[in-house]
Structure 1
Amino acid sequence: MSVTLEASYLVKPMEPTQRGRVPLSEWDQTGTINHVSIIYFYGPSKHFDLSPNYTNIASTLKDSLSRVLVPFYPLAGRLHWIKNGRLELDCNAMGAQFVEAQSSLRLEDLGDSSSSSGYHSLVPSVDYTLPFHELPLVLVQLTKFKCGGISISIAISHALADGTSALHFTSEWARLSRGEPLQTVPFIDKKVFRAGEPPLAPLTKCRVYSEFDDLPLLLDQTKRTEERKKKTKVAILKLSKVQVETLRKTANESHRPRNGRGYTRYESVTGHVWRSACKARGHKEDQPTALCVCVDSRDRLEPPLPKEYFGNTVIDVVASSLVGDLVSKPLGYASSRIREAIERVNDEYVRSGIEFLKNQEDLSRFQDLHGIGSEIKEPLYGDPNLSVVSWLTLPIYGIDFGWGKELHMNPGPYDFDGDCVLLPGPDGDGSLLLALCLQEVHMDAFNKHFYEDIE
């Protein structure tokens, strides 16, 4: 895609904000700590200044970004490595990066948005070869298209915000941009996770966390070097409401759920995705496979966290199985393995996990860096494993900056084998979208099993 960068600015908070170093929680410093992006597309609007510089829209976005960075001041700071793979936030009001760009294409040239492979140039670039403390924690790219439409891409450091927090920030920014007051102030207090405090118990008294172990390898391999080299392909596949309901019914009728609570959409559909991937990859029956599940712990703590808590509360857990069991047994078996993993996340699990991580000499091995520094270190969920992240309950649609809601939304580029995101359909009709990345050689077979096995 032909995109020309025209200007770049640092947008700082409009008013003085809290300054100084702030410790991060263990959950902020583990898992994905690079930037995660989302893209919104808007059609031509009478609200836009259609001059070559789009002066009004860019000014409105920069002004409202400057104002929203006051209550969300951590995002205007910078992260610093301190020691032993640990991070600290410097609230220094250095600001967010705002980039203006121009595309020679029209929005209709992008097609049906069934793939994110061509969207890299619409997402603000993060130069991870720079010192970590120089990287903005929020980057925005406003791209103007030939037809008069625009895209707004937002990249936010996952070390500062999970999906719920990132969309809280985005929604409030849009609210200020369209002239409305802030609705919900973020709750910024890392003490709820004992950030910066020493461990309460030695490692010998901490529970064992298998989630932090290395994921299974292919049976004939001792490392992932060759798998990294294989070409991947991305796609967005749709499930109708009827297909979703069919999968839920099949899961619940084929394997009785524990506690009598029926399997959710996520458990049913993700079980189907897991089985389809194993079939498409052609694994042997004795091949171990793992599915990484992200569980929001906000409501699982005692007492529950405030819904406006700003930070990372998502805990990664792992469901595992042998491929032979997964594909030979009914769908409900796969859903039951996912249910068991999710149910492990409770108050004791989260707090003991903090103690486990506080006792670690170095946190580096628990971090997915996606290419920070000179050595690429991606999460490598891929063959024979998957990660299916749920955006089903996130307010990802209806982001109105003052010129109407988006034409469509797309997750930012995701290029690692096994990365999947499950989203609600944009029309609110009960349909779901699966955004996934697989090795190119497996994609056609996955499509075949994904749809044919529903029947």
Structure 2
Amino acid sequence: MSSSSSLVTLKSCYSVRPIEPTWCGRLPLSEWDQIGIITHVPTIYFYRPSQTWLSTTIATTLKDSLSKVLVPFYPLAGRLQWNDKNNGRFDLECNALGAQFIEAQSSLTLTDISDFSPSSDYYRYLIPRIDYTLPINDIPLVIVQLTSFKCGGVSISLLVSHAVADGQSALHFTSEWARLARGEPIKTMPFVDRNALHVGESQSPLLPQCSNSEREFNEPPFLLGNTDNIEERKKKTTVAIIKVSKTQVEKLRKTANESWGKPSNGRGYTRYETVTGHVWRTASKARGHGNDQPTALGVCVDWRCRVDPNLPKGYFGNATLDVVATSLAGDLMSKPLGYASSRIREAIEKVNNEYVRLGMEYFKKHEDLTKFQDLHAIGSDKGPFYGNPNLGVVSWLTLPIYGLDFGWGKEVYMGPGTHELDGDSLLLPGPDNDGSLLVAICLQEAHMDAFKRHFHQDIV
């Protein structure tokens, strides 16, 4: 599940199982677990431990604490199982087979890779690559690679199956893993009972028709004249991480809030709505869209506190859904920034208790979920959302992504790992807690320079 090169040599690979017996059996997954991204989401952390921390000690600490944290987080020690109907639905077999732990050695130093760019050649050797042609029940849900550098620094890359945990749940797992590694008790136990999703359904009966949901999940637009975007998705992509200073963020918010009427609910547009609106219209400019080109923006919304009752604290699973904002490229590019932000606000505000439950009912009615699963990472032609003329911007602005301390101090750099899908992008808080943001975006190589140019020029 990984590659070797002259830069990185694989030393060993282990299965790390829960240190104590855990519940075994088949855990049903919700509809929200089985749509969208069902592959693994990568993150990577770089550290400079003191010389008292030998690489063998670090590896032992990580493996021992991982075996402990997999006891309460036992779903992550299991395996996915396709159901017998071959219709894109699967269950989670809690069988304590464990996580995969890889140890590697690099000939580089952290100084050699000081820019930590995810587009650098060495990056792909620090993050395991998963062979999704293997049977799904053979693929661990958690894969960790510890790479030791010549200077004594280390990187820890972590891949967590999105079919079992969304961003908030995955970070809940890693933060508790780090607490156990430091010798501290778990702070918040995971709540793994999927029945929590159905509490309150009788008080909020579902409507017999799901027309709104059906419109929401229709195919997104393609480039004018095309019937799909398969050729667009085949084009070579590159990744850039662009810093947006606090001053620039404030400029964008001021521009958006003053340029397009009064925002709904009387609330000013958020950092996400303004910066994402800027990314959306910049992407249309960089891609050279005509005025009549339809374009869609995917927005991932956490609905833990948008349903009645709210999900329990520590709910472990997927409690996010994607909504889509749409526009003509000409409107995005010619109208003020507030217009793009208003389209995003309108999409987000749809997500309420009724919308979530309607969506759940809508997917239950579909016998085959395959077309709703984003399988680009394994070379499938299904799931056409990403790729020109569309993009998705996922917010990590409120997630606790920094300060992951396993006992040898906080990271010197944290990144989202590799992204290869045209239009796949993230918003992250700046690592210095200074109000800045980072835009991590993947675009076709032919469009990236124009994107960077327009992105900075249009912040006025």
Aligned equivalents of 1:131, 1:202: Cα separation in 2:
36
Greater Cα shift, 296-305 or 66-75 = 296-305
- Contact 1:44–1:147 (CA<8 Å) still a contact in 2? no
Aligned equivalents of 2:402, 2:345: Cα separation in 1:
27
For the pair 1:85 / 2:92, whether they are aligned, the reply is no
State which of 264, 271, 278 in structure 2 corresponds to 1:272: 278
SS of 2:298 mapped into structure 1: strand
Aligned equivalents of 2:173, 2:206: Cα separation in 1:
37
What amino acid does structure 1 have at the position aligned with 2:99?
A: A
Q: How does 1:309-328 map to 2 (within 5 A)?
A: 309-328=315-334
- Contact 1:193–1:354 (CA<8 Å) still a contact in 2? no
- Report the TM-score when normalising by structure 2: 0.94
What amino acid does structure 1 have at the position aligned with 2:343?
A: R
Post-superposition offset of 1:369: 2.0
Q: Which residue does the alignment assign to 2:149?
A: 145
Greater Cα shift, 101-110 or 291-300 = 101-110
State which of 383, 399, 408 in structure 1 corresponds to 2:413: 408
Distance of aligned partners of 1:296 and 1:213 in 2 relative to their CA distance in 1, 3 Å threshold: same
Q: Which residue does the alignment assign to 2:59?
A: 58
Post-superposition offset of 1:47: 3.6
- Contact 2:118–2:417 (CA<8 Å) still a contact in 1? no
Q: Which residue does the alignment assign to 1:67?
A: 68
Q: Which residue does the alignment assign to 2:301?
A: 295
Aligned equivalents of 2:348, 2:106: Cα separation in 1:
43
Post-superposition offset of 1:202: 10
Distance of aligned partners of 1:379 and 1:104 in 2 relative to their CA distance in 1, 3 Å threshold: farther
Q: 1:347-402, CA deviations, whole angstroms, 9 ceiling, x for partnerless residues?
A: 00001111100000101111012344x74656541211110000000000000000
Distance of aligned partners of 1:165 and 1:126 in 2 relative to their CA distance in 1, 3 Å threshold: same
What amino acid does structure 2 have at the position aligned with 1:102?
A: Q
Q: 1:396-422, CA deviations, whole angstroms, 9 ceiling, x for partnerless residues?
A: 000000000000101010011000000
Post-superposition offset of 1:204: 5.9
Aligned equivalents of 1:444, 1:388: Cα separation in 2:
19
Q: Which residue does the alignment assign to 1:165?
A: 169
Post-superposition offset of 1:186: 0.5
Distance of aligned partners of 1:181 and 1:47 in 2 relative to their CA distance in 1, 3 Å threshold: farther
Aligned equivalents of 1:108, 1:212: Cα separation in 2:
46
Q: 1:317-375, CA deviations, whole angstroms, 9 ceiling, x for partnerless residues?
A: 00000011111110000000000000000000001111100000101111012344x74
- Contact 2:51–2:152 (CA<8 Å) still a contact in 1? no
Aligned equivalents of 2:165, 2:384: Cα separation in 1:
18
What amino acid does structure 1 have at the position aligned with 2:106?
A: S
Q: Gapped runs of 5+ residues in structure 2?
A: none
Q: CA RMSD in A?
A: 1.8
Q: Which residue does the alignment assign to 1:244?
A: 249
Distance of aligned partners of 1:275 and 1:437 in 2 relative to their CA distance in 1, 3 Å threshold: same
- Contact 1:298–1:305 (CA<8 Å) still a contact in 2? yes
Aligned equivalents of 2:125, 2:216: Cα separation in 1:
34
What amino acid does structure 2 have at the position aligned with 1:129?
A: T
Q: How does 1:47-446 map to 2 (within 5 A)?
A: 47-49=52-54, 54-82=55-83, 83=85, 84-118=87-121, 119-194=123-198, 205-209=209-213, 210-255=215-260, 256-372=262-378, 375=380, 377=382, 380-446=385-451
Post-superposition offset of 1:214: 1.1
What amino acid does structure 2 have at the position aligned with 1:269?
A: V
Aligned equivalents of 1:138, 1:192: Cα separation in 2:
24
Aligned equivalents of 2:95, 2:284: Cα separation in 1:
48
Aligned equivalents of 2:309, 2:118: Cα separation in 1:
41
Q: How does 1:27-66 map to 2 (within 5 A)?
A: 27-49=32-54, 54-66=55-67
Q: Which residue does the alignment assign to 1:447?
A: 452
What amino acid does structure 2 have at the position aligned with 1:42?
A: Y
The aligned length equals 447
SS of 1:208 mapped into structure 2: helix
Post-superposition offset of 1:193: 2.4
SS of 2:427 mapped into structure 1: strand
Post-superposition offset of 1:171: 0.3
- Contact 2:49–2:409 (CA<8 Å) still a contact in 1? no
What amino acid does structure 2 have at the position aligned with 1:64?
A: S
- Contact 1:424–1:432 (CA<8 Å) still a contact in 2? yes
Post-superposition offset of 1:316: 0.2
Post-superposition offset of 1:192: 2.0
Aligned equivalents of 1:370, 1:136: Cα separation in 2:
19
- Contact 2:219–2:384 (CA<8 Å) still a contact in 1? no
State which of 6, 12, 20 in structure 2 corresponds to 1:7: 12
- Report the TM-score when normalising by structure 1: 0.95
- Contact 1:235–1:437 (CA<8 Å) still a contact in 2? yes
State which of 14, 17, 31 in structure 1 corresponds to 2:22: 17
Aligned equivalents of 1:332, 1:380: Cα separation in 2:
24
SS of 1:108 mapped into structure 2: coil
Distance of aligned partners of 1:7 and 1:346 in 2 relative to their CA distance in 1, 3 Å threshold: same
- Contact 1:202–1:359 (CA<8 Å) still a contact in 2? no
Post-superposition offset of 1:91: 0.4
What amino acid does structure 2 have at the position aligned with 1:190?
A: R
SS of 2:51 mapped into structure 1: coil
Greater Cα shift, 299-308 or 445-454 = 299-308
SS of 1:315 mapped into structure 2: strand
SS of 2:33 mapped into structure 1: coil
Aligned equivalents of 1:211, 1:111: Cα separation in 2:
43
